[in-house]
Amino acid sequence: AQTVTQSQPEMSVQEAETVTLSCTYDTSENNYYLFWYKQPPSRQMILVIRQEAYKQQNATENRFSVNFQKAAKSFSLKISDSQLGDTAMYFCAFKEYSGAGSYQLTFGKGTKLSVIP
Amino acid sequence: KAGVTQTPRYLIKTRGQQVTLSCSPISGHRSVSWYQQTPGQGLQFLFEYFSETQRNKGNFPGRFSGRQFSNSRSEMNVSTLELGDSALYLCASSFGNVQGVYEQYFGPGTRLTVT
């Protein structure tokens, strides 16, 4: 089974500043997918960004971008121009092939991000 | 397009009872996965259904079961509830069989409290 590690249980950032959330993973696969999900206090899990391992270019979605270092098995999320609505738990997830056409997500423990006015 | 819906949103049960949770996926999605979220264990995979068949199962006891209907709606059942089953149960849907499309979209969850 794969493992996903988020080493920062909690972080805070001033509004309009930039923050980076860390994630490392362990796998012997070569082709895989990584995701960052956001879970605000409402508990709705929202997909923030995805990265295909075979792509060298880092994924970007508006203010969210990743730094994907395949050799280091690192997948960090950068949030630029932080907004109050970014306050949430952020989960790093690894898409794992389980056989018979099935995939499952393995999640890290999460990083609680607080954006301070 | 409507998102993933889960009912009920909140549920309180007593030990020993059983409970059934429901999930309606996004239209066109044929795969439904269930996850349990607790403060201690985080998010853990329960099982996945695709075209009415259980395609994958996580490491949970047999008290946890599920099924999927022909319209892709899924139900999850927990029998003989224990206090440790108190959790947020999340359902996620995806196409499941479209090459290159791997995102799972989550519902709002069902908060189960066992007393």
Contacts of residue A99 in chain B, CB cutoff 8 Å? 56
- Taking CA atoms, what residue in B is nearest to A1? B58
- Residue B99 reports pLDDT greater than 60: no
As a whole number, mean pLDDT of residues B94-108 equals 76
- Taking CA atoms, what residue in A is nearest to B98? A101
CB contact under 8 A, B106 and A37: yes
Residues of chain A with pLDDT below 70 are: 1
Contacts of residue A10 in chain B, CB cutoff 8 Å? none
Angle, alpha carbons B72-B29-A45 (nearest 5°): 105
- Taking CA atoms, what residue in B is nearest to A42? B108
pLDDT at A87: 97
Backbone angles phi, psi at B85, to 5 degrees: -80, -5
pLDDT at B101: 58
CB-based contact, B45 to chain A, within 8 Å? yes
pLDDT at A95: 85
CB-based contact, B104 to chain A, within 8 Å? yes
Q: Which residues of A17-51 are buried (b: 16+ CB within 10 A; e: fewer)?
A: eebebbbbbebeeeebbbbbbbbeeebbbebbbbb
Q: For residue B3, what are its two tokens?
A: 């998102």
- According to DSSP, the β-strands at A60-61 and B31-38 are unpaired
Quick: pLDDT tens for B11-64: 999 999 999 999 999 999 999 999 999 998 999 999 999 989 998 899 999 999
pLDDT at A27: 87
Contacts of residue B111 in chain A, CB cutoff 8 Å? 43
Contact, A92 vs A98, CB < 8 A? no
- According to DSSP, the β-strands at A74-79 and A64-69 are antiparallel
CB contact under 8 A, A100 and B55: yes
What is residue B89's three-state secondary structure?
A: strand
CB-based contact, B81 to chain A, within 8 Å? no
CB contact under 8 A, B56 and A50: no
Going by pLDDT thresholds of 50, 70 and 90, the confidence category of residue B103 is confident
CB neighbours of A97 closer than 8 A, spacing ≥ 6? A29, A32, A103
- Residue B78 reports pLDDT greater than 80: yes
What is residue B56's three-state secondary structure?
A: strand
Interface test with B, best of A44, A47, A96, A102 (most B CBs within 10 A): A102
Burial of A93 (0-12, 13-18, 19+ CB in 10 A): buried
Q: Which has the closest alpha carbon to B30: B15, B46, B49?
A: B49
What 3 state SS string does A2-27 have? CEEECCCCEEEEECCCCEEECCEEEC
Contacts of residue A98 in chain B, CB cutoff 8 Å? 48, 55-56
What is residue B71's three-state secondary structure?
A: coil
pLDDT at A31: 78
- Taking CA atoms, what residue in B is nearest to A105? B45
Residue type for B104, please?
Q
Dihedral (C-alpha) A63, B90, A33, A77: value to the nearest 10 degrees? 30
Q: For residue A65, what are its two tokens?
A: 């971008």
CB neighbours of A40 closer than 8 A, spacing ≥ 6? A46, A85, A87, A88, A89
